[in-house]
Amino acid sequence: MESLLITDLATLLNMQADSVTKCLNLKKHSYWDSLAIVSLIGSIDNYYNVSVTGDELTNIDTVDDIFKLIEHKICKIA
């Protein structure tokens, strides 16, 4: 599922999927905006069945932080 989310994120950021690394700083990317965040919320819900908020995603810095947030949410549910 990680690769699917990376593909979605690449599309939202107008990048090639192989250019989206876990250390990519989202806050420095011009396409990381409220529309991208809302779209990513849907992808996360679809692939991982967890809910994240726009505020949570706004406060992250890197792609790795997205996966850490998802892991935290999954562990919290379990």
Distances (CA, A) of 68 to 16, 32, 54, 57: 22, 18, 15, 11
Total number of domains in the chain = 1
Q: What is the pLDDT of residues 38-52, one digit of tens each?
A: 999 999 999 999 999
Cβ-Cβ contacts under 8 Å for 42 (sequence gap 6 or more): none
Domain range for 55 is 2-77
With 0.85 as the threshold, say if the pTM is over it.
yes
On whether the CB atoms of residues 3 and 43 are closer than 8 A, the answer is no
pLDDT band at 77 (very low <50, low <70, confident <90, very high): confident
Averaged confidence pLDDT in the chain: 94
Q: What is the pLDDT of residues 19-37, one digit of tens each?
A: 999 999 999 999 999 999 9
Q: Quick one: pLDDT at residue 36?
A: 96
Q: What is the CATH number of the domain that holds 66?
A: 1.10.1200.10
